[in-house]
Amino acid sequence: TAAPATANNAVAATATVITNIASLVTNDPSLGDGSPLGLIQDAAVVIAGDRVVWIGESSKAPATDNRVDAGGRAVIPGFVDSHSHLVFAGDRTAEFNARMSGQAYAAGGIRTTVAATRAATDEALEANVTRYLREALLQGTTTFETKSGYGLTVEDEARALRIAARHTDEVTYLGAHIVSPDFADDPASYVSLVTGEMLDACAPHARWIDVFCEKGAFDGDQARAILTAGKAAGLHPRVHANQLSYGPGVQLAVELDAASADHCTHLTQADVDALASGDTVATLLPGAEFSTRAEWPDARRLIDADVTVALSTDCNPGSSFTSSMPFCIALAVRDMGMTPNEALWSATAGGAAALRRTDVGRLAPGARADLAILDAPSHVHLAYRPGVPLVSAVWRRGEQVV
């Protein structure tokens, strides 16, 4: 818990110290109790500019002009939601109602949202993104990824990415969400569009390329062609893999060194072995299983095999209409075999790993000052008290925003 030599004097004028933190999650095993969460009891954090500059025990904190008393509450790194689909219009209440009366989820509902999104103005899409981001921020999310995928024309996909890029650097081109309804009889031509003209229009606005590798969407060969073309255009791959059935998505993701294989609901032992052998994170999206009444992904099996696991919301109007990382943590602990500590790690450091980021998802000198104060004495309460709005204050890039 050593402070940088400069902290005491150099930062005093402008820095903020948050003191009296009952329990601080740093996600830095070299700090605090030496566990993966790097827990420090009775802690303080010093923020200068957009960075953390000092972390340690409250009694040793340097004096600064601005002092915030955490009042014996817990502090965690801001959540890193590494998988969402926020550029859309409309909702799918009728589909949800039907599902809750016994109808199965089929990704065909995506077409409903594609039609609504194409018909929406830029302003309406922008307003939607802003609204769902505000929801997420109020629940502690300070970094998020979001995707296109409800446009499926050159213009509509590029538009979605331009809107997304106004809100985050973690923008993903998902022209390969489903085969566009305009190409229903000619999927090969749609793949050519996705890997050609649409990619050219979209690549400048995105960091990542994604494909929904699933029966009824894109098969392994199509997914490989799409991701390979994306890589050649400078995008990094991530994959919607093995959500609704067993399939080639996970092993393809590892083969192409995708940052993440997302969903991972149906996994063979070979899939688990592949994930354990590579650097591809398994991102689990319990909101999707909740909302589709599907079987839960087995987080325990993955963690026991030494796979890096992330938790994200998958926020979208079809399969998972939640922006709440605390809700996903509660589900993961109750139904996916995760401990509260593992779930907290996966929702913060795990999400950062899924975005190949080291500046977020942890609280240590040099990291971005993104954190949440919980109205609870420890992060365990996020799972222990499900549905309770425990996030009481949020700092993002060194500024208090909630």
Output the known binding site for N-formimidoyl-L-glutamate. Answer: 150, 316, 318
**From 102-110, 154-162, 299-307, 376-384, span contacting ligand NIG (CB under 6 A):** 102-110
Measure the N-to-C terminal CA separation of the chain; round to a whole number of Å: 28
Q: Cα–Cα distance between 253 and 237 in angstroms, integer?
A: 8
Q: Give the position of tokens 């709440």.
A: 324
Single out the residue of 319, 318, 311 nearest to residue 361, CA to CA: 311
* 312 sits near ligand NIG (criterion: CB under 6 A): no
Per the annotation, binding residues for Fe(3+) are 83, 85, 240, 314
Phi-psi region of 264 (alpha: psi -120 to 50; beta: other; left: phi over 0): left
**From 6-14, 87-95, 123-131, 312-320, span contacting Fe ion (CB under 5 A):** 312-320
Number of residues located near ligand NIG, criterion CB under 6 A = 13
* 145 sits near Fe ion (criterion: CB under 5 A): no
**From 197-205, 250-258, 312-320, 341-349, span contacting ligand NIG (CB under 6 A):** 312-320
- Cβ 47 to ligand NIG shortest distance, Å: 35
* 314 sits near Fe ion (criterion: CB under 5 A): yes
Q: List the one residue from 26, 64, 313, 319 that touches ligand NIG (CB under 6 A).
A: 319
Single out the residue of 269, 355, 370 nearest to residue 312, CA to CA: 355
* 286 sits near ligand NIG (criterion: CB under 6 A): no
Question: At residue 244, what is the residue type?
Answer: L
**From 104-112, 126-134, 314-322, 362-370, span contacting Fe ion (CB under 5 A):** 314-322
Q: Cα–Cα distance between 395 and 370 in angstroms, integer?
A: 5
Q: Give the position of tokens 């689990």.
A: 284
Q: At what angle do helices 122-138 and 154-165 cross, to 10 degrees?
A: 40
84, burial (CB in 10 Å: exposed 0-12, middle 13-18, buried 19+) = buried
* 147 sits near ligand NIG (criterion: CB under 6 A): no
For residue 198, the Cα-to-chain-centroid distance in whole angstroms is 25
Residue 319's binding partner out of Fe ion, ligand NIG, none, with CB under 5 to 8 Å set by partner kind: ligand NIG
**From 10-18, 49-57, 108-116, 360-368, span contacting ligand NIG (CB under 6 A):** 108-116
Residue 235's binding partner out of ligand NIG, Fe ion, none, with CB under 5 to 8 Å set by partner kind: none
Nearer to ligand NIG (CB atom), residue 85 or residue 159: 85
Nearer to ligand NIG (CB atom), residue 153 or residue 392: 153
Q: List the one residue from 142, 316, 346, 378 that touches ligand NIG (CB under 6 A).
A: 316
Single out the residue of 207, 259, 261 nearest to residue 230, CA to CA: 207
What's 182's DSSP letter?
G
Give the CA distances from residue 135 to residues 81, 141, 272, in Å, rounded to whole numbers and listed in that order. 13, 9, 34
Asked if 367 contacts 51 with a C-beta cutoff of 8 angstroms, the reply is yes
Q: List the one residue from 110, 154, 202, 376 that touches ligand NIG (CB under 6 A).
A: 110
**From 60-68, 132-140, 314-322, 323-331, span contacting ligand NIG (CB under 6 A):** 314-322
* 170 sits near Fe ion (criterion: CB under 5 A): no
Q: Is the dihedral of CA 378, 379, 382, 388 positive or negative?
A: positive
- Cβ 312 to Fe ion shortest distance, Å: 9
* 173 sits near ligand NIG (criterion: CB under 6 A): no
Asked if 25 contacts 348 with a C-beta cutoff of 8 angstroms, the reply is yes
- Cβ 100 to Fe ion shortest distance, Å: 20
Asked if 92 contacts 38 with a C-beta cutoff of 8 angstroms, the reply is no
Helix (H, G, I), strand (E, B) or coil at 351: helix
Q: List the one residue from 96, 190, 212, 218 that touches ligand NIG (CB under 6 A).
A: 212
∠ CA 370-374-380, rounded to 5°: 105
Per the annotation, binding residues are 83, 85, 92, 150, 177, 240, 243, 314, 316, 318-319
* 28 sits near Fe ion (criterion: CB under 5 A): no
Report the interface residues with Fe ion, using CB under 5 A.
314
Report the interface residues with ligand NIG, using CB under 6 A.
107, 109-110, 113, 212, 240, 243, 288, 314, 316, 318-320
